[in-house]
Structure 1
């Protein structure tokens, strides 16, 4: 039997230092890493950082004025009517903000039905692990039938592919943006009055790995050269082979989530414990990548909130210009989706002040590339056995649930995204796209 990865049992707090996870020691070798990757002339980053602060101050004026309205919005109908792509007029704003709300992905009644079905599933199985432990709001549930159906809903797939295509890369890079793989994640039902699921500012997709892993570091070459203005956050070329989990973290992500996302299964208003983001992508990334390498910070191995095996914290102490520009996403209804760039600084509102629950299914956009295909086959085994997906704490809560989803319920289209069927080749694929498909089909045939 294929078991889940050898991760410790736990919950979503296991990877966040600010939720109680320990802060591992940072080895002195990271001081040498700083010296290795920083420009020899400290003035290069100093001047670049000063330019960055000036730009962020200008941008913050609009953010403060517009608040949540700064986040762009589009409907799934707009995407469908535009040949499956985001309308051209909204793409520059989505690229700048790194966050987008996509309306009406799933019919409201169906989205509400998803929630009701999951609530019944949880009630039938007392003892499922969650956070906080005394009154769970984020559940270690992955294989309810509603979750499996939502992840492969045709409209969600269409939204994900549209988002994939605002990225670009080398034509020979083994990635296929037209084929979105399914990443199986948790879900949240945050109750009125909750103040414990208080995720402070952070970045997923690794922590120290952004500096330590050579391929991951190549994504940020322009920033590390002090030319952050030339940095392209939407170049996929080096991200597809980047190792985002060097420390087998309890919340490490082995698939390339090009956009993280969630599907609302309740109405969620500002103040309802919703997502908060810094609605810029280039500038905050340059900020947290450069600041540990400034001359005044070079004599310590500290990378300012980046810990081995933990998410990277973004704090008022170390990153005030980012934290001061955080805004809540706009109000959403059942069936709306919210997506944010893999480097977006995000958080969760500290208190859930609505009179009803604030509920989402976490579902990202994950284009096909070999690293993701390799994870998919491991995830496929977990699905077959009802065990926890490999990236998550190995609680295996659902292993013996007779009413969980199984491969037998998958449609032909769902089997493609879950790695149970090969992806067809087509004549118009580029060399890189074809390479990704062939490698994917080889991997899932094992």
Structure 2
């Protein structure tokens, strides 16, 4: 098995990618005005499309504000299992509209509580080398290799849930991706203490910022929006996303893997107001809005993409994106072991304060990352970091866990965890007569890239 080296990012914490948390921004070069005009030759059609979009927002806003958190679809993990590993049609339709899904019972409550206890002990044992945000009282820890995180990422219920939501996506049969296989992406964790107001992430979009317009392949994902037909935009078409470049500027928090859905699993009971996640539950409309507005007649001559800067997450603000802000909702009450998944284009935020008086607001961040060339290439780099005990390639190069004996190692992983981490190959027996040419190509690429 060949190992890969990785270029470490600078030291830091989660604030380094968010302008609203103090990360620096750069005035855009005039070439971005030319880019706008190349994307949209005439603004008349786009303006008419925008006007229809505003009307749609006004219509949808009434229902969203009336329902609040209950507008977010929910399902229990047992209902997915009892439906052959698929979402029931009614739930699937809601997720395709809302862009997100709460999965109840993703982990058993006692299992989630034990994971949390183990992580807190890990922190207590090694607090002198730990880094987080904010540094004086971390709420988001730069930790990736705890045994609890490794176990949660490979939990059978996580597989069931993510493979069910992955099936909402589609592409040409020759597209080299396998939506029935997830690779492991190692992300941070959050333990937000009662009363915390520091970890307040304002509305934003991950997966790059300027890249959505600037990268030619990424831009193809939104062609229908640029043509003035936002109604025809398909947020779940995977075809152009697998080769889209999401990190042109080596962002300190840029995600190199293609995440169909971002996600987390709760390690506490979290009420609305408890520092929980907020989303805009209109995946097609909100994406059309922030992709279209900078190209309109009033803005086309400005080197400005309304909150998108090189190497930063894309900020969504009341100044530029009022209809999105007006339709944001918080998650319903989450319990230990409940999970949530949200679309990679989805505008989301973290409530400004954990208003729970005695309970922390704790989660493990675990996305859905299917098998494709881009994801396997990142997995190879991540594998090398894991073996060395250093920070994964996408994150600030603090390397605080390198000398911690309690961290996960190859010896502590079971077979399933090793496959997800690229330490063992996926077997060709996982393919069958119904496998597409794209699935077969993705599997071959995967094992070749990892040296199997």
User: Which stretch of structure 1 is more off in the superposition, 412-421 or 263-272?
Assistant: 412-421
Equivalent residues of 1:5, 1:394 under 8 A apart: no
User: Which stretch of structure 1 is more off in the superposition, 81-90 or 336-345?
Assistant: 81-90
Once residues 329 and 67 of structure 2 are traced to their aligned partners in structure 1, the CA distance between those partners, rounded to angstroms, is 10
**Residue aligning to 1:444:** 450
* 1:222 equivalenced with 2:228 (yes/no): no
**Residue aligning to 2:379:** 376
Aligned with residue 201 of structure 1, among 182, 200, 203: 203
Once residues 273 and 15 of structure 2 are traced to their aligned partners in structure 1, the CA distance between those partners, rounded to angstroms, is 22
**Residue aligning to 2:397:** 394
Once residues 250 and 85 of structure 1 are traced to their aligned partners in structure 2, the CA distance between those partners, rounded to angstroms, is 36
**Residue aligning to 2:438:** 432
Once residues 26 and 398 of structure 1 are traced to their aligned partners in structure 2, the CA distance between those partners, rounded to angstroms, is 37
What SS is found at the alignment partner of 2:90? Answer: coil
**Residue aligning to 1:408:** 411
What SS is found at the alignment partner of 1:296? Answer: coil
1:2 Cα deviation after fit: 6.0
| Runs (5+) with no aligned partner, structure 2 | none
RMSD (Å) for aligned C-alpha atoms: 1.0
Once residues 337 and 27 of structure 2 are traced to their aligned partners in structure 1, the CA distance between those partners, rounded to angstroms, is 42
* 1:250 equivalenced with 2:252 (yes/no): yes
1:424 Cα deviation after fit: 1.8
User: Which stretch of structure 1 is more off in the superposition, 23-32 or 301-310?
Assistant: 23-32
Equivalent residues of 2:4, 2:380 under 8 A apart: no
Which runs of at least 4 in structure 1 moved beyond 2 Å after TM superposition?
A: 1-6
TM-score with structure 2 length normalisation? 0.97
1:403 Cα deviation after fit: 1.0
1:89 Cα deviation after fit: 1.7
Once residues 26 and 402 of structure 2 are traced to their aligned partners in structure 1, the CA distance between those partners, rounded to angstroms, is 31
Aligned with residue 420 of structure 1, among 420, 423, 433: 423
1:41 Cα deviation after fit: 2.2
1:3 Cα deviation after fit: 5.7
Deviations 1:147-169 (A, max 9, x none): 01100001111111111111101
Equivalent residues of 1:4, 1:388 under 8 A apart: no
1:209-358 alignment runs, 5 A limit: 209-354=211-356, 355-358=358-361
| Runs (5+) with no aligned partner, structure 1 | none
Deviations 1:92-129 (A, max 9, x none): 10110001100101110010110110000011112311
Deviations 1:271-319 (A, max 9, x none): 1000000011000000000000000001111000000000000000010
Once residues 278 and 139 of structure 2 are traced to their aligned partners in structure 1, the CA distance between those partners, rounded to angstroms, is 18
**Residue aligning to 2:86:** 85
Equivalent residues of 1:205, 1:253 under 8 A apart: yes
Once residues 27 and 301 of structure 2 are traced to their aligned partners in structure 1, the CA distance between those partners, rounded to angstroms, is 16
What SS is found at the alignment partner of 2:342? Answer: strand
